Amino acid sequence: MQKVYNSAAEALDGLLFDGMFIAAGGFGLCGIPELLIDGIVEAGTKDLTVASNNCGVDDFGLGKLLQTRQIKKMLSSYVGENAEFMRQYLSGELELEFNPQGTLAERMRAGGAGIPGFYTKTGVGTVIAEGKEVKTFDGEEYILERGIVADLSIVKAWKADDTGNLVFRKTARNFNPPAATCGRVCIAEVEEIVPRGSIDPDHIHLPGIFVHRLIQGEHEKRIEQRTTRAA
């Protein structure tokens, strides 16, 4: 199978439709599939439901899709750095399903593993538990969370070979692998594509069987919060 495409537009071709569900990797501004996000912006696909730890910032990452009003609903853990997100949510323009960070990661992982749901103590007795099934195990209450299965996964890795085996760098490894596995189709963007067989199998973080399409490109290195001290 030929997995390498020349651009985000080519890789997204034939996969986008209004109202679709997208799982996006990234943590803060680390490991953001920025090229694929730009491709979705250009395609104009609307009424999107997006599962991602956060929603970028006002002019970067998923924040661009907020600016163009292409996102209808977000499933997120942390949204505190995006003023437009806050404005749309408070004005009722954007639906939001809050997920504890570990719960969101596990929902993606579970969906990718074919697990339809799981019970967790996280969120018991809070607004997170509203409307969810509660069961008691060993005298403790747990709430049912559903696994996530998305129409499309978009992720960003550091390195890949042409079969789609991926290597992530540091913090980019936390949400990208589970996001990649829970999509019916997964597109990965990487900084470098290396020859097949050149990645040590012990260093592969996500096997290529989960990756359907692959692009290489230049990426912006952003810092979400810069803290300095006087010289």
pLDDT of residue 46: 97
Q: Are 25 and 56 in contact (CB under 8 A)?
A: no
Q: Are 86 and 63 in contact (CB under 8 A)?
A: no
Distance CA 137, CA 92 (A): 37
The terminus-to-terminus CA distance of the chain in angstroms comes to 55
pLDDT of residue 20: 98
pLDDT of residue 149: 98
pLDDT of residue 145: 98
Distance CA 191, CA 209 (A): 20
Among the listed residues 180, 213, 26, the one whose alpha carbon sits nearest the alpha carbon of residue 113: 180
The three-state secondary structure class of 66 is helix
Distance CA 80, CA 142 (A): 27
What is the phi-psi region of residue 216: left when phi exceeds 0, alpha when psi lies from -120 to 50, beta otherwise?
beta
pLDDT of residue 231: 74
Q: Are 52 and 62 in contact (CB under 8 A)?
A: yes
Please report the sign of the dihedral spanned by the C-alpha atoms of residue 71, residue 66, residue 46, residue 15. negative
DSSP string, 202-223: GG-SB-GGG--EEEE-------
> Residues 6 or more apart from 84 whose CB is under 8 A from it?
58, 63, 66, 67
The three-state secondary structure class of 30 is strand
pLDDT of residue 218: 86
Please report the sign of the dihedral spanned by the C-alpha atoms of residue 11, residue 15, residue 18, residue 20. negative
Along the 231 residues of the chain, how does pLDDT read in single tens digits?
A: 799 999 999 999 999 999 999 999 998 888 999 999 999 999 999 999 999 998 888 888 899 999 999 999 999 998 777 888 889 999 999 999 999 999 999 999 999 999 999 999 999 999 999 999 999 999 999 999 999 999 999 999 999 999 999 999 998 999 999 999 999 999 999 999 999 999 999 999 999 999 999 999 988 777 767 788 887
Which pair of structure tokens corresponds to residue 84?
């437009």
Which pair of structure tokens corresponds to residue 78?
């942390």
Distance CA 209, CA 46 (A): 29
What is this structure's pTM? Answer: 0.93
pLDDT of residue 228: 84
Domains with residue ranges and CATH for the chain: 8-116+149-216 (3.40.1080.10)
